Chain A
């Protein structure tokens, strides 16, 4: 699914990430941790081709990202659902249309019942008509998750999806992600929350990646 070979990434100055080699298999469940500013968001951006590696080779679905044209990238993003750290909604459209946005841009028909079920699944059935700025941080994160899965992507990337949630809501969201993983989706969650990782490990064989000193490590079973 996602394969890195000595991938390096820099924003122009010194390298932020170096020599990352990794293979994420289909159906796997990974956490991504590391201190703030270590490059977790940057790593995820590489995985949906918002950023290009400055060195090494990165393959997504068996294709070198460097060979992807602009339309290829659009198609790739329909197979990778992303919960962004800052959600990224269209503030002038109600939640319902924001969640259905990937369908609209892909030119696919929207099934109203399916959409309603999806909103119910993330506990937002009552807020369908609200505009994104009128929602709480946690509601927005759940809406972002609904939008990320609406195209039934093969890979789900979530950047601090529980950052604004209380513990109970965090667990609910985790349950949703675990459900998706059981449906065969590859899941990567960037988080600081060790409790969340522990809770997940009780449900799925999750592995932990850690970015430290510009390198990507596979953390031990000590968590």
Chain B
């Protein structure tokens, strides 16, 4: 492990940073931790972006549209269609309703039966397209009323089965965001621990610096600069690897479905750029807080 870590790059302290002795092993551990966390963050980010896209797409597909299919003997068809339209006209939650004409029906059916379908000779059901308002309509109530007044009508809200899927996708996006928050918290905790270890190991150094007139900010800066740099460079490494791994996922076309949609799209590829500065910010805050807390105990 140590030898492996030895291969990672390490900044050589210069100038004012030299007053604190180098902490090789902690330094590389911090770097590695930041890299691992950034790698995970890339995936959490990809997950929440992809599931967000999915939720949006599916929600749009729901589009609050439904159809009513009326199957009735030819002589009753017109009456039942009118009855259905009358019911829809007074049903709350219906934005508009309209019976499809013959040409539209032919269009709908031609993929299955070919263009030469003799629509008028077939006992085709009449279709009524219903567009719901944003609030949606009460499907059970509508079904009961249709059964009473137009026994041949069947209300079909076929897109409704997708609703739980949309909820699931939305939940997934939330989980992705939660993961990002947790990764940030875990990074802060680990850098705090590493910084505290470095500060404790350098207690004597800090005492001497105070004795010769160093201000708290000077001492804190030596540690903060180091850990911020490590957090940043580790995160750059992890982000690059994570983005490369996401880019290497198979194409959507090749497999199709949700899993392969897990990439970034368009401007989405810029999101991971935010990870290294955020990691640096987390490292800065965590180390500074740890350093100032520790300095309070030394006169």
Contact = CB atoms under 8 A, between A and B. Distances in A.
Contact of A50 (B209, B211, B213): B211
Contacts of B299: 49-51, 73
B16 interface: yes
Interface residues of A, number: 28
Contacts of B210: 74, 77
A94 B210 CA distance: 19
B212 interface: yes
Contacts of A84: 211
Contacts of A82: 211
Nearest to A103: B212
Interface stretch (A17-25, A85-93, A190-198): A85-93
A101 B216 contact: no
Contacts of B208: 88-90, 101
Main secondary structure of the interface of B (DSSP, over half): helix
Interface residues of B, number: 18
A48 B210 CA distance: 11
A153 to B, nearest CB: 9
Interface in A100-118: 101-102, 104-107
A78 B209 CA distance: 11
A51 B18 CA distance: 28
A90 B216 contact: no
Contacts of B295: 70
Nearest to A88: B208
Interface in B8-61: 16, 18-19, 21
Contact of A93 (B19, B211, B216, B218): B19
Given A50-B211, A77-B211, A71 B216 contact: yes
A54 to B, nearest CB: 15
Interface of B: 16, 18-19, 21, 205, 207-216, 218, 295, 299
9 contacts: A48-B211, A51-B299, A74-B213, A101-B208, A102-B212, A102-B213, A105-B213, A107-B218, A151-B213
Interface of A: 48-51, 70-71, 73-78, 82, 84, 88-90, 92-93, 97, 101-102, 104-107, 147, 151
